[in-house]
Amino acid sequence: MSRISSLVFDRNEQLKRATIITPLGSIKVEWRKVGGDRHWISSGDLAARLLAVPVIQRIERMVQPP
């Protein structure tokens, strides 16, 4: 089971960083604006990153405007 450890927002209240804890290690995720769209990149062990993908998708659903 993966869980969200922390969320960091920028001064415009846009998601900037997240830390996710998985059974295989912690993952750091960063959101960046590329060509007008927001994309995320992650760092950490590949197996742990694969476990974190559903949590990242959940975070994106939580912060997207209604």
Q: With a cut of 80, say whether residue 19 has pLDDT above it.
A: yes
User: In the chain, pLDDT over 70 holds for what percent of residues?
Assistant: 100
pTM score, two decimals?
0.88
Please report which confidence band the pLDDT of residue 35 belongs to, taking 50, 70 and 90 as the band edges: very high
Instruction: Give the per-residue SS3 of the chain.
Output: CCEEEEEEECCCCCEEEEEEEECCEEEEEEEEEECCEEEEEEECCHHHHHHHHHHHHHHHHHHCCC
For residues 50 and 66, what is the distance between their CA atoms, to the nearest angstrom?
28
- Average pLDDT score over the chain: 94
